[in-house]
Structure 1
Amino acid sequence: MASSNKDPCKKEMTYPAKCVYVSNPYLETMNEDILYHFDLGTKTHDFRAMFGDVKFVCVGGSASRMKAFSQYMNELLGLGRATDDIPNICAHTDRYSMYKVGPVLAVSHGMGIPSISIMLHELIKLLCHAKCTDVVAFRIGTSGGIGLQPGTVVITKVSVDASFNACFEQNTLGMIVTYPTVLNECLAQELLKCNKEIDQFNAIIGTTLCTSDFYEGQARLDGAFCNYTYEDKMNYLHCAYEAGVRNIEMESSVFAAMCNRSGLPGAVVCVTLLDRLQGDQIGSSHEVLEEYQERPQKLVGCYIKKTFCKK
């Protein structure tokens, strides 16, 4: 038989709407589900009315960055101006912030695996309670690059741990359970196509190292403690590069794992602020860093606009 050259990522038929999946039989027995860290509850809020039309979820560490993203999408989708003051849905809690613009929900997650894990549990339940369908999830943020020019955007193919294993380990009841951390390949390729359309900065698909610490966990020499040498650091980073790692951050593994568990197509899109093979501290100006941080927003925004305009 002749081989097919068709793009496997392109749909050639109409598929039924796909819901966000949760796996917890106890949720059905609860009189009310209180999403404590969002200050939202199924008795006090109409989730279907508030969030039922959400098709795109974008999460990032900084509350101010997620507000800026929502304002950017407000203008990009022709729903308002970038200067509009988008209200924070979670204004009565200081844990996370949440902004909604049309079909786009932007949520902050803080720093590190524990913080984003808590947020994702409640976010996935929110999407399920709202009966959202065909949702796509993104994490945008900053990272340290390995062997890349600062300002390069890395679209994560797979997230690996400190030993370069492609899995997320969850300690549940004293037992270690592992979950795969491969992200949606088709979504990554679509984002790379968007970058070619934007043609303003370099973007690649690569492996991302997810750590539980900013300093020793990332082989930095500038923390309060350091019990390894410069040579040890460089050997480790070169081993990471040989394993395909092109950037380092602190949330991608649990994001990938929970997207897989819930059936959400997910992408991690992070800009590199420095090349860790050249040093540990970020030396670029505030203006340069601000422009770098806008790059993942532009890439994800391009994808959302293309998809939104098709509907």
Structure 2
Amino acid sequence: MACSNKDPCKKETTCPEKCDYVSNPYLATMKEDILYHFDLGTKTHDLHAMFGDVKFVCVGGSAWRMKAFAQYINELLGLGCSKDDIPNICAHTDRFSMYKVGPVLAISHGMGIPSISIMLHELIKLLCHARCTGVVVFRIGTSGGIGVQPGTVVVTKVSVDACFKPHFEQNVMGMIVAYPTVLNECLAQELLKCSKELNQFETILGCTLCTSDFYEGQARLDGAFCNYTAEDKMMYLQSAYEAGVRNIEMESSVFAAMCNRSGLAGTVVCVTLLDRLQGDQISSSHEVLGEYQERPQKLVGCYIKKIFCKK
């Protein structure tokens, strides 16, 4: 798919009832929409006043990492100091954390497909209730690499399942529905440009294998159970590499599917903590891992700053 000069994120919305991001006719019939896991609601909060200026959303697994990202962006955009204590908007719930810095929203999503799916449903509705337009969404995080050096940042072009198929399968009332998982190519290319400008670490474009499990689902040999051999594992990981897979994580498929369903421009940016072809357990020091985990936020921050400074 060729990269167009047209802004891939440009989408006009007017009100929640006509928002392009959602496709649920029942929302328009509701007197109140309670975003339960965010502890927000359309009657209890002025969502347009709170979030109407949001243009960038960055989501990641851990709450502390998303607060650190918000503090980083705060200083990068010249809106404050990196040590500012930015309040958690979802402080009254222990499910997710949310931080807002200017036009940037940072939200934790926990671990795995079910957790991020819940968060994305409520995020997409939040963007509509707030009448946001032209929003770009990033998932940043860590991953296991396949055939790449630890510390490599992988920008996902497509998320694939355990059989290396580019779709996310969801069971809806006993029926299996498949959604495509190709991510925004133009956005990915812009991030590669940002990496060249930063010139601090290697960034590549690749397929991401999304699994529903950390151990057997990722062909590890160090879980509580293992019904396959080391040779089986290596054959599977080598097959993944040959299929274009460069990293493994646990959220990209539903993230990509919901970006496609909503029309949101999005991409996944994950750093690799190890090469799974060399082993299963992470052995790098906390200092090295800490530096690795800053790489996706630096890359996304570079992109956001470029767009922010054009305004």
The bucket for the TM-score relative to the shorter chain is over 0.9
Query: Residue in 2 aligned with 1:45?
Result: 45
Equivalences for 1:120-139 in 2 at 5 Å?
A: 120-139=120-139
**Corresponding residue SS for 2:264:** coil
CA distance in 2, matches of 1:34, 1:11: 35
Query: Residue in 2 aligned with 1:171?
Result: 171
Contact 1:168 1:254 in 2 (8 A): yes
Query: How many percent identity over aligned positions?
Result: 83
**Corresponding residue SS for 1:304:** helix
- 1:105 equivalent to 2:105? Answer yes
How far residue 10 of structure 1 moved from its aligned partner, in angstroms, is 2.6
How far residue 11 of structure 1 moved from its aligned partner, in angstroms, is 3.5
- Number of residues of Structure 1 aligned to a counterpart in Structure 2: 304
- 1:238 equivalent to 2:216? Answer no
CA distance in 2, matches of 1:164, 1:258: 19
Partner AA of 1:98 in structure 2:
M
Contact 1:156 1:183 in 2 (8 A): yes
Equivalences for 1:155-304 in 2 at 5 Å?
A: 155-304=155-304
Moved more, 20-29 or 37-46: 20-29
Contact 1:20 1:133 in 2 (8 A): no
Query: Residue in 1 aligned with 2:16?
Result: none
Deviations 1:12-62 (A, max 9, x none): 9xx664665101111011110000000000000000000000000000000
**Corresponding residue SS for 1:80:** coil
Partner AA of 1:51 in structure 2:
F
CA distance in 2, matches of 1:136, 1:25: 24
CA distance in 2, matches of 1:296, 1:98: 18
Partner AA of 2:70 in structure 1:
S
Contact 1:167 1:180 in 2 (8 A): yes
**Corresponding residue SS for 2:59:** strand
CA distance in 1, matches of 2:200, 2:62: 24
Contact 1:51 1:127 in 2 (8 A): yes
**TM-score normalised to the size of structure 1?**
0.96
Contact 2:11 2:133 in 1 (8 A): no
**Corresponding residue SS for 1:195:** helix
Partner AA of 1:66 in structure 2:
M
Query: Residue in 2 aligned with 1:153?
Result: 153
**Corresponding residue SS for 1:144:** strand
Query: Residue in 2 aligned with 1:3?
Result: none
Equivalent of 1:9, from 4, 9, 29?
Answer: 4
CA distance in 1, matches of 2:213, 2:227: 15
RMSD between aligned alpha carbons?
1.3
CA distance in 1, matches of 2:4, 2:97: 33
CA distance in 1, matches of 2:150, 2:61: 19
Partner AA of 1:233 in structure 2:
K
Partner AA of 2:6 in structure 1:
K
**Corresponding residue SS for 1:142:** strand
CA distance in 2, matches of 1:147, 1:11: 35
Unaligned residue ranges in structure 1 (runs of 5+): 1-6
Contact 2:211 2:249 in 1 (8 A): yes
Equivalences for 1:61-72 in 2 at 5 Å?
A: 61-72=61-72
Contact 1:59 1:109 in 2 (8 A): yes
Deviations 1:181-221 (A, max 9, x none): 00000000000000000000000000000000000000000
CA distance in 1, matches of 2:118, 2:284: 32
Deviations 1:117-141 (A, max 9, x none): 0000000000000000000000000
**TM-score normalised to the size of structure 2?**
0.96
Unaligned residue ranges in structure 2 (runs of 5+): 14-18
Query: Residue in 2 aligned with 1:4?
Result: none
Moved over 2 A (4+): 7-12, 15-20
CA distance in 2, matches of 1:84, 1:256: 32
Partner AA of 1:138 in structure 2:
F
Contact 1:20 1:124 in 2 (8 A): no
Query: Residue in 1 aligned with 2:24?
Result: 24
